[in-house]
Structure formats: C-alpha cells, structure tokens
Amino acid sequence: IPKKPIKLRKMFHCALITFISCLIVMTTFTLPAYAKTVTITEETDFNDTQHAYSVQGDSHWNDGGTRASFYTGGWSALKADGEYSFCLEPWKKVDHGTVVTEDDLNTMIGLSLSKQLSQIGYYGYWSTSQTRADYITTQLMIWEARGWTVVTAPAYYAGKKATIQSKIERSAKQLSFTGTQKTVKVNETVSFTDTNGVLSDYMKAAGYPNQNTNYTKDGVTLKWNGNTLYLTPTINASDTFRLNITNVSNGFIGTPIVYYNGNVQLTSPLRYLDDPAYSSLRLNIEKNGRARIVKYDAVTGKIVKRPGIVYDVYKASNETYITTATSDATGVALTGLIPLDDYYYIERLAPNKYLVN
C-alpha cells in the first residue's frame, strides 16, 4: 500500500525659553554621561502668521526687566544643535547662540513634572508628522504645564491639544491580558483579546504596524486584528516564549536629560519617555505529543477492538523511523511522546502492512 503522509492529532495542548530631554533606552539602560555641549539657536518665520500666540506669566529677561506677557506674531522655534527643542522655563530667556550642557531633567524639575512634559513632547510632537502646528501646540501645552496662561492661540490649538491629552490618558492603559500565560502546541494558534482597546498602540510601537499581517519573533508567528492578538509557535520557538512590549517604540524610551548652563532657561527636545506603560504575556510551548492510532473496519466503519496490532511510525519528510505502538484491548495504540513538527505515516507490521489514515 503506498505511503500517504497524515498529520497526527496533537494531544497537548515623549522671546524664548527651552529645555532638552534625552532618554536612554530602557532595554539596554546605559547611564547618561552628562558632558555634551550644544548651541541653542532660534528659527523664525514671521510671515507664517497662522502660528501667532500670546501667553502670560512671570518672565525675567536678561536685561533685568520683568514681563507679564509674551507675544509672537508668527512662527518661532528653538533648536539645540539643529534639533527642535522646547522651552521649559517661561521665567527665563535664552539668546541665539547660547552654549549649554547636559544635565538630568528628573533632578532639575522632579520626576512627576518631567514625566508630564516628556509625554507632552512625545505625543504632541515626536510621535506625529512633526509639523509647525505640532511644534507650537506642544510648546504652548508645556508652558501651560509650567504655570503660564495661553491668552491667544492659533486656530488649531484647541483641537490638537484635546487630541494630545486624549493620547496621554490612553497611554496609561496596559493590555488587559498583561501577565497572562497560556499553554499551546507547536503550529497551533492561541489568541489574546484586549478589552482595554489599546492593542494597536502596543503592536505599532513594537514594530508590528499592520493588521492581518504575519510577523515572526523568536520562532513565533504574530498577527493582530482589532483588539485580538494571535500567536502561533513553530518548532523553532523555545519551550517558553515571552512578549514584553510597551506602547512607545524603543527609540523613544530612555532617561531624560536637559540642556542648561545655570543662567538661561532649560531647553529640551522632550524626545524620550522614561516610564511608558508596559505589558507582557507568556506562552508555554509543547513540542511533543502522543499519536492515537486506531484501525477502522472497512464495512462497519467502527474501530477494530483488537489488542496486539503493532504499528510503526515514520517521519514523512525523510522516512525516518520514530517509534512503535501496540493496540490495547480497545483497539487503541498510543505512542510515546513524539515531536509535533512534521507529518507522519503509520504502517502495521507483518504479515500485512496497513496504512492508518
């Protein structure tokens, strides 16, 4: 009888004031070396009047005077060595061409405020298309967080501010299934459903941006759709698979720094977040199972309940002998543990070879 491969059933189953925050990637967590010096410059385009705004607060200028308000009639932004930077101290001023050095933002302004400003920077600017409107919205929100009042704002400000605030609130949510572990067999699919509705944030940040697309990590195929994550381990996976993810991509995770020289305002691009929401799951992967072999009567279609029927099990891919199993009084032959990574065929031994389908 020709050998026909069959699949065994697997029985296991984020005028002019600025501050720069730079964070160090958590995954490697290298402590910052506060030695770098940068030059603060100003970029202006007062023909771009859609970005005009005015704010009120206590402002101490370098000439010794005090201003209760500040107004700009168009586009104005700060840069640190060419990178956009935001003003964090509305009561001081930094001049074009000022040289500053790095320091620890958390130490300068405290952990809570540092986190708040970093979130505004990330969700307001760095995770967006980084338009001029994104920059101005982010800068005004930073000033409000530092105690200043926005008196007049660009037409887009209220809407963009609301969107940023919504993203910050959403960013605090973990995946509802975080901490969950499941047992799954090789080549079988297990699913995890997130009832908090934030799976897309985590998957995109982790480098899996598209729904219904297969991605591979450590021998496990990942696919997501809506709020459900599907995982399918292959034989190349380890016995244990862990998925540890945040809702912020690794390139924006780290320890914040600030640019400062003791006399001028703090400035930072607010490019990194040191405390994103974190979620995890675990798979316990079974790579071996038992084959249940039975013979059916050709006429009745029922299992032949005969003990002593001996079967050889071979690997279909290379015809390698795997094991032998013998039926019990119920006609069932149960193999020992065999790998679940291939198709197998089974033959009955002499006097007649018989293929079990």
pLDDT at position 323 = 86
Top-confidence residue, 93 or 123: 123
Least confident of 16-25, 83-92, 177-186: 16-25
Q: Above 70 in pLDDT, residue 351?
A: no
Which pLDDT score is estimated for 67? 58
Coil, helix or strand for 293? strand
Residue 348 predicted with pLDDT over 90: no
Task: Give 65-73's long-range contacts (Cβ < 8 A, gap of 24+).
Answer: 67/15, 69/151, 70/15, 71/152, 72/15, 72/46, 73/46, 73/49
Q: 59 falls in which pLDDT band (50, 70, 90)?
A: low
> What mean pLDDT is reported for the chain?
83
Query: What is the C-alpha to C-alpha distance for residues 157 and 144, in angstroms, rounded to an integer?
Result: 13
Q: What is the pLDDT of residue 29?
A: 36
Give the model confidence (pLDDT) of 233-260 as tens digits.
998 899 999 999 999 998 999 888 899 8
Tell me the pTM: 0.72
At residue 135, does pLDDT exceed 60? yes
Q: pLDDT at position 224, please? A: 98
